[in-house]
Structure 1
Amino acid sequence: MKNLRLFGTSATIITFALIALSGVGLFFGIRAGFIKTAHEWIGLAMVIATLVHIVANWRGFLGYFKGTKTAAIILPVVIVLGAWVYSTTMPKDGAAMWKKGLAYKKLVMMDVNTAMDALGGNKAGFAEFLASKGINAPTNISIKDFAKANKLKEHELLNAMLK
């Protein structure tokens, strides 16, 4: 167990130092050929080294989770994990954002005039948008059907209504 503890601790310290150096370099725009790839692979090695370190020091590790120290350790971890999950699940563009949820599905089933009124849209701006696309179609059909008939994307119509 002593050798495992020595290896785990040493490997964690060394990989941390390498990750820190390469991370600072990447932060300041140093992109010399292999730095990004090395940073990623050393990061993976650090995860493994850290797990070995935790296993080798399990009894001491559990001591951190006794008493009032538990909340001070767990709370930041939960916050960081929550922020990470939130940031990786949020849509990256406006089109994906519109497509989320029941409100979108209900909105695109409304006729264009009703949706315009519900959104408090700019009718003149919307008319200009339609004219720029060469569209003179009736607006008493659903947004979904209107978009399909005019070869537009639903979110384009919704964005044009809101401008």
Structure 2
Amino acid sequence: MVKKFIYLGLVAAVLCGCSYSVYSNAYPHLKKVAIRPFENKSTEFELGDIVYNGLVKEFQKDGRLKLVTQQPDCVVEGTILKLEEDVYSYDSWNNVQDYMLRLTCSVVFTDLINNQIIYENKSLVITEPYAVSPASTAKCRSKEEAIDELVSKLFRNIIQNSLETW
């Protein structure tokens, strides 16, 4: 009889555990977000649009906050300060194998309900290598893929330092 209760308790614990979400929101009063286009101070003309569209896509995919343009609970704003590209590695014949992209930006995540800045980083640096050689081990095979990955990393940084703060 005792074994039966232990078994039922374990089954209940497993079933309850299955409904747990890996996503958290440290600010449950925040339901709607507005993403403002980032000011682009880099030499890459299209980068502002790429970052904005990428962040919109990432927030939609994440689903914790509804994207709105009117009456948001919180807002994400920023400035792209620069995008740099440096040689990252050479092959055995001294040919360039990989480049490293480095995105530097300023980001602010503001709670508009409580009128407080939840996260701010005035000099956030995010890096991603990309391959120019078939022998490369970099996961990104083009500069465009590396820029997309930089935007994904920017999104994860914003989320981890705002909604997932405990």
Q: TM-score, length-normalised on structure 1?
A: 0.27
Greater strand share, structure number: 2
Q: Which has the larger radius of gyration?
A: 1
Structure with more helix by fraction: 1
